[in-house]
Amino acid sequence: MALARALLCQPDVLVLDEPTADLDPLSARRITRAIQQCVPGRIVIAATHKAELVACASQVLDIAQGQVTQRTIPERHHVLLSCAQEACPV
């Protein structure tokens, strides 16, 4: 319910902490698609361990042992992200 409320408010920046945690794979894909459809043109910051959700990101920061590093996303992935929502594998 909290996620639905947050998406309905249409914030410019949406911060999510493990939005698909404890969900079965099908439900996680549905939630990820719903988030994508509700936030075009907005900033979404998501803390997650799920590779499927990370695959939808245009930028990824890894945090480990107190260090923050930016993960390089292959150019091919940038091109896919600029296409339609179907580009995301989830």
Largest CA distance in the chain: 36
Pick the catalytic residue from 18, 52, 75, 86: 18
- In the residue annotation, 52 being an active-site residue is answered as no
SS3 88: coil
Closest CA to 35 of 23, 44, 25: 44
Output DSSP code: residue 74: P
Task: Scan for tokens 């245009």, then name that residue.
Answer: 58
Residues assigned a catalytic role: 18
